[in-house]
Structures are given as structure tokens and as C-alpha cells.
A = this chain, B = another copy of it.
Amino acid sequence: MSSATQTETERAVLRANATFYRAFSEGDVEAMNAVWSTRSSVACLHPGMPLLVGREAVLASWREILGGRPGIPIRCQAPTTQVFGETAIVYCYEGPENEAAHLVATNVFVREDGAWRIVHHHAGPLSIPVAFRGTSQLMN
């Protein structure tokens, strides 16, 4: 894969990741449903919680988290990605807008008919919040 193609692929993965966090922060259940894979088995690890497996259980958890709220004060910070063919991992930090991140996440995506869909989200707490300026620069 050429370097240019790789970069384009990485951008597409990061756009899918941004779509996931937009749905999350806007409390948009429909958009959240759309970003999760319909073809592959999916799984999710919310902070502190046991494993959820399968689209029904995973999407039910998101409906519960997002339901009835106008939005969630969460922002994806410093996302980076590694692409392995038709699968990609995104690493990023999570925290309220303009505040230090208190969570770190692993998101796994697969490419289905040219579109990157999430198959796994794992977020866990940071012992010490991490502050960023912008989206990629580590401040402390």
C-alpha cells in the first residue's frame, strides 16, 4: 500500500472515529446505531463494566447512556490510528471540552463495503488526567 493511500485510509478511519464521538457527544442514538458494524459481531467495554457482546446488548447500552440527554460533555482528544488491511485501531483520550481527559479508549474498526464501522469500543479511566492543547499535542 502506498504511503499516500495509507494516509487516505488513516483519514477515513479517523473520520469514522469522529462520527462515533459526534454521535456520543450529541446524544444521537440513530447516528450511534449507524456507526456500529451490522455484519460483524461487536463488543463494548464501558469504563469499569464487564464485557458486552453482540449488537443488541451493545446498542442497548448506548441507548441507556445517550437516552433522554441533549448531549454528553465528551470530546475525543489526540486520536491516532494503526491500520491493518481491512481492520484499524484508533487510540484516543476522552474528556469534557476544554478539560483534561480522564479516560483513554481503544476503538476497533472494520471496513465494510468501503465504509469503516466500529466493532469494539473499550474506554478505561486514567489515574492522572491528561491535558492536551488542540488534538495531538501532549501538554503534561
Contact = CB atoms under 8 A, between A and B. Distances in A.
Interface size class of A (residues with CB under 8 A): 20 to 34
A118 to B, nearest CB: 12
B104 A45 contact: yes
Query: A-side binding surface: helix, strand, loop or mixed?
Result: strand
Contacts of A48: 124-128
Contacts of A126: 48-50
Interface stretch (A58-66, A67-75, A81-89): A81-89
Task: Give the oligomeric copy count.
Answer: 2
Given A89-B108, A104-B45, A40 B127 contact: no
Interface of A: 40-41, 43, 45, 47-51, 53, 80, 82, 84-87, 89, 91, 93, 104, 106, 108, 110, 119-120, 122-128, 130, 138
